[in-house]
Amino acid sequence: MNFLNSLIGGISLGSIYAIIALGYTMVYGIAKMLNFAHGDVIMVGGYVCYLAMFNLGLPAIPAILIAMAVCTVLGIVIEGLAYRPLRQASSLAVLITAIGVSYFLQNAALLIWGSNPKVFTSVINIPAKSLFDGQLVIKGESFVTVSVCIIIMIGLTLFTRYTRAGKAMRAVAEDKGAAQLMGINVNFTISLTFAIGSGLAAIAGVLYCSAYPILTPTLGSIPGIKSFIAAVLGGIGSIPGAMLGGILLGVIEILSRAYISMELSDAIVFGVLIIVLLVKPTGLLGKKIREKV
Amino acid sequence: MAKNETKMVPFPSRAIVPERDLGKTPVLECIHLGIEFGGLKAVDDFNLIVGATEIAGLIGPNGAGKTTVFNLLTKVYQPTHGTMLVQGRETNGLSTTQVNRIGVARTFQNIRLFNSQTVEENVMIGLHNHLKGGLFSDMFRLPTYFKSEKKAHERALELLDFFDMADMANYKAGSLPYGAQRRLEIVRALATDPCILLLDEPAAGMNPSETEDLMNNIRKIRDELKIAVMLIEHDMKLVMGICEGICVMNYGKVIAKGTPSEIQSNPAVIEAYLGSHNDSKEEK
Amino acid sequence: MKKLKPTTRSNIFTYGALLIIFTVVYILNNGGVISNNISGLLIPICAYVCMSISLNLTVGILGELSLGHAGFMSVGAFSGVIAASALRNVTDNGTLQLIAAIAIGAVFAAIAGAIVGVPVLRLNGDYLAIVTLAFGEIIKNLLNNFYIGVDNSGLHFSMKDTASLNMDKGTVIVNGPMGAVGIPKVSTLIVGFILILICYAATANITNSRTGRAIKAIRDNRIAVESVGISVAKYKLMTFVTSAAMAGMAGALYALNYTTITPKKFDFNTSILILVFVVLGGIGNVRGGMIAATVLVVLPELLRAVKDYRMLMYAVVLILVMIFTNNRKARGLIIDPAKKLFGKLIPKRGKGGDANG
């Protein structure tokens, strides 16, 4: 039963990673860049939701919607100001810029909201379910998180497969130049991707803060890096890959915490990534890219 | 009679080499060479023998698989079928680096120079495996370093001089005009001291007088350096003018081999280039 | 007289400038002219300058992004501390302890570099950066769980706690998340200067040599490098190990300047800070990186009033520098007119953002 409890905890944490990883993977697929600042958008989402709930006294749902709106706008602004001018630049330059943006968000949050941790209250009011005479406990948060993750996953798959904008996204991801020649507005499509990714980051932020209710300006960096690892693990650029990588990572993390070592769980998680990349350099579900000679 | 024929005959019958190559091992032998990309046969059953000092041409319509052949020969792609011998030596499992060390050098269709370094340095990088030294002698400026730098400088200038480029030695490779960049790529490939030089569209983007110079240079490489040359080219004047044997590909397969005059009158080649509306004419 | 090559000339100029700066700083420091705050920063500056040189070798000259460079620094720092602490029973000579610590730090960091380098060789670009990040975190995570002590029978090691070291009246050197404790404070400015000179000379020498040309060629065009018979894997590994060894030396120098040091000191943020030195100095411009390291370490001390805004300013500067050096329109707006104005004063960048730039 302990194992099952850990497994459920792992899947729940993994679902949060998966939602964040979706943002990384969509942006990488389309803009071929690692958006390092994505983790910090999560942090902004958490803070905005907190402020809306406790300073404005709004109920949970509108607060989440406000957080999503703010993050969506933030995503578009970041893309437009920092990344768009570097569309032609080397990936090194873009990555360093993304790191700069990440630092900017963290330190701006530090100045605006201070370094004192704020205590978040869970937005989820579903009571925990006990099964097998209380041996197996499923928290309300776990239930909601996993459900939200599955809904988002299905929604995104349908979106990219059947809508005009989704098809445009896939076209731009495949070949920017050709997509442009077919009349697709590449800049708009990239902005849209950032908007969706950032909106999802807000949801992930709220869910993350519900599970780990301490708000600090750097709260996004650890789940950010881990989700990023999850996206790479699953094969960056692939939506099912992000889901698989996220859940796998969450499960590995919780299980190794429970059964191997509390302190070394991070090292194990990163170790798994390295091993996967060595065996399959583009991740579990990533496509092999052949360099044209 | 036989002495004047081309060496490019279908495998497995042996090449009939001209006098100058008598008794020498062919520099390159491809035996049933092929590669599949996810079921698609990009190159299929490629057989070819290139003599020790031959100038060979590889032609065919766009997308015929010519560059893929070069990538197989230089092990950028590992062949999924067949094998290839360089000077009689088996090359299975070798990497691009190793296959260069046994004598296969190439240029690229889209020029790949080390743009941030000077012309001379580009050639020196080609000379890399012929220079002594290592990290420690370089880091601490041991005597080996000075000896090998001197040798590199002299040899690089010698090679550049061979192609009238010595005066450009200190320019950045990226700043050279297009034609000079193509020439530099050839010099860099020659610096590795190959036995066969593969040129991928060396005349692309050149004007007629530059092409003329290029033809002379290719002849010079063969005559003075005794290096076999195999080239992919769409400029038929160049191909017919300098190649002794020509191999024609279409849809990943070899459709004809022979001397320039044989190729020019080969119906399969004409069909590949001009399309199937010639079929009706042929059938009549 | 034979005319000197431009690279040789600029190297001689740099060595001269370095020597003059060292002498002036040393005299001023001994004369007590430099304020205590800054004076305490001199050895960290030396360490960070070495880190900047070291990372430039990987990022600027090899052209691969490493996001875990602080990991190598921490390997050097901790192995150096252990070596120096263990040597206390053997010799009282601080300088000897320091030199031994730096050497041991270099060796262990080089080993770590090789362990990281071998898998990294198979990857390129972004993936390589991620793996270095992961390794940096793993190193930090492992060090957080190391307990090391020394007694008369030698070194003791455990991954549980200090009690399980089973020592006989020994001293604890590394105490898990508390880090290294009771470090002999033996770092000296002169050794720091010498370390900078060694790192700079090694890097400058490599750059203008057979090895360096091969490394730079990998950055310029990997496929072409293979086509001329140079093993990309070999030179990538060589660069990684050399760079890690330098970071290890810098780490040892840095750690032996304090009485305690925690693994947390060498986290992702430190890796990024070092990367910022390299980027602001101009990627591939070793001297620029050295200047950037010095300025960015001193600056917060000078700007105590705006300390809260320091990291924010770093971030903004980092973004702006990247945009202005990589975007053609932005370049035309500021950098090109500035170049015209100052002429040769602005050093030529080793490598532009894109090949056509």
pLDDT per residue as tens, chain C (357 positions):
455 677 778 888 889 999 999 999 999 988 888 888 888 899 999 999 999 999 999 999 998 888 889 999 999 999 999 999 888 878 888 899 999 999 999 999 999 999 988 877 777 777 788 888 888 989 998 998 889 888 877 788 887 777 777 777 778 888 888 888 888 899 999 999 999 999 999 999 999 999 999 999 999 998 999 999 999 999 999 999 999 999 999 999 999 999 999 998 998 889 988 998 998 888 889 999 999 999 888 877 777 667 777 778 878 888 888 888 887 777 777 666 666 665 554 444 443 333 332
Q: Pick the residue of B67, B114, B123 with the most C CBs within 10 A to test the interface with C by mutation.
A: B114
Q: Does C199 fall in a domain?
A: yes
List, for residues C94-152, the tens digit of each pLDDT value: 899 999 999 999 999 999 999 988 877 777 777 788 888 888 989 998 998 889 888 87
Distance CA B229, CA B239 (A): 12
Exposure string over A56-86, b if 16+ CB within 10 A, otherwise e: eebebeebbebbbebbbebbbebbeebbbbb
- What are the residues whose beta carbons fall under 8 Å from the beta carbon of C302, sequence distance 6 or more? none
- What are the residues whose beta carbons fall under 8 Å from the beta carbon of A183, sequence distance 6 or more? none
Q: What kind and span of H or E run contains C253?
A: helix C232-255
Every domain of chain B with CATH number 3.40.50.300 lies at 2-103+194-283
A94 contacts in chain C (CB < 8 Å): 322
Supply the Cα-derived Rg of chain C in whole angstroms.
Answer: 21
**With pLDDT > 70 as the criterion, what percentage of chain B qualifies?**
88
Q: Give residue C322's domain range.
A: 24-345
CB count within 10 Å of CB A264 equals 18
Contact B214, B203 (CB under 8 A): yes
Point out which residues pair with A137 in neighbouring strands.
Answer: A130
Q: What is the ipTM of this complex?
A: 0.85
CATH number for the domain that contains residue C138: 1.10.3470
A293 contacts in chain C (CB < 8 Å): 223
The rounded Cα C323 to chain-centroid distance in angstroms is 25
- The whole-chain average pLDDT of chain C stands at 85
Per-residue confidence in pLDDT tens, chain A, 293 aa? 678 888 888 999 999 999 999 998 888 888 888 888 899 999 999 999 999 988 888 888 899 999 999 999 999 999 999 999 888 887 778 888 898 899 899 989 988 988 888 888 777 777 777 777 667 777 778 888 899 999 999 999 899 889 999 999 989 988 888 988 988 999 999 999 999 999 999 999 999 988 888 888 888 888 888 898 898 888 888 888 999 999 999 999 999 988 887 778 888 888 888 888 888 877 888 776 555 66
Distance CA C81, CA C100 (A): 10
pLDDT at B194 (0 to 100): 94
- Report, at the CATH architecture level, how domain B2-103+194-283 is classified: 3-Layer(aba) Sandwich (3.40)
C168 shares contact with chain A (CB less than 8 Å): no
| Paired tokens of B235 | 């400029």
β-strands B196-200, B81-86 pairing: unpaired
Q: Does C101 fall in a domain?
A: yes
Contact C197, C11 (CB under 8 A): no
pTM (2 d.p.): 0.85
CB count within 10 Å of CB C132 equals 25
| Paired tokens of A28 | 């990488």
DSSP structural state of residue C352: -
Point out which residues pair with B56 in neighbouring strands.
Answer: B230, B245
Supply the Cα-derived Rg of chain A in whole angstroms.
Answer: 19
Question: Which chain C residue lies closest to A32 (C-alpha atoms)?
Answer: C126
Residue numbers of C between 116 and 135 with CB closer than 8 Å to A: 119, 122-123, 125-127, 129-131, 133-135
Q: Does C312 fall in a domain?
A: yes
| Paired tokens of A73 | 């706008």
- From the CA of A173, how many Å to the nearest CA of chain B? 21
pLDDT at C167 (0 to 100): 76
DSSP structural state of residue C168: S
| Paired tokens of C303 | 């700007």
CB count within 10 Å of CB B92 equals 11
- Alpha carbon distance, N-terminus to C-terminus of chain A: 55
- From the CA of C114, how many Å to the nearest CA of chain B? 15
Question: Do C323 and A264 make contact, defined as CB atoms within 8 angstroms?
Answer: no
Distance CA C282, CA C104 (A): 31
CB count within 10 Å of CB A106 equals 24
- From the CA of B230, how many Å to the nearest CA of chain C? 16
Question: Do B138 and C226 make contact, defined as CB atoms within 8 angstroms?
Answer: no
pLDDT at A288 (0 to 100): 63
- From the CA of A82, how many Å to the nearest CA of chain C? 7
Residue A102 exposed, middle or buried by CB count within 10 Å (0-12, 13-18, 19+): buried
Distance CA C43, CA A41 (A): 37
C232 shares contact with chain B (CB less than 8 Å): yes
- What are the residues whose beta carbons fall under 8 Å from the beta carbon of A87, sequence distance 6 or more? none
A92 shares contact with chain B (CB less than 8 Å): no
Q: Which residue has the tokens 């390295």?
A: A274
Neighbours of A, requiring at least 3 CB pairs below 8 Å, are B, C
List, for residues C329-356, the tens digit of each pLDDT value: 777 776 666 666 655 544 444 433 333 3
The full set of domains in chain A, from first to last, is 2-279 (1.10.3470)
Domain total of chain C: 1
Question: Do A264 and C315 make contact, defined as CB atoms within 8 angstroms?
Answer: no
Q: CB pairs under 8 A, 24+ apart, for A271-275?
A: A271/C134, A271/C138, A272/A233, A273/A229, A273/A232, A273/A233, A273/C130, A273/C131, A273/C134, A274/C119, A274/C131, A274/C134, A274/C135
Per-residue confidence in pLDDT tens, chain B, 284 aa? 333 334 443 333 334 344 455 566 788 999 999 999 888 889 999 998 888 888 999 999 888 889 999 999 999 999 999 999 998 888 988 999 999 999 999 999 999 999 999 999 999 999 999 999 889 999 999 999 999 999 999 999 999 998 889 999 999 999 999 889 999 999 999 999 999 999 999 998 888 998 999 999 999 999 889 899 999 999 999 999 999 889 999 989 999 888 888 888 888 888 888 775 544 444 43
Which among B106, B124, B122, B210 is positioned nearest to B172, based on CA atoms? B122
Q: Which residue has the tokens 């693994």?
A: C263
pLDDT at C120 (0 to 100): 77
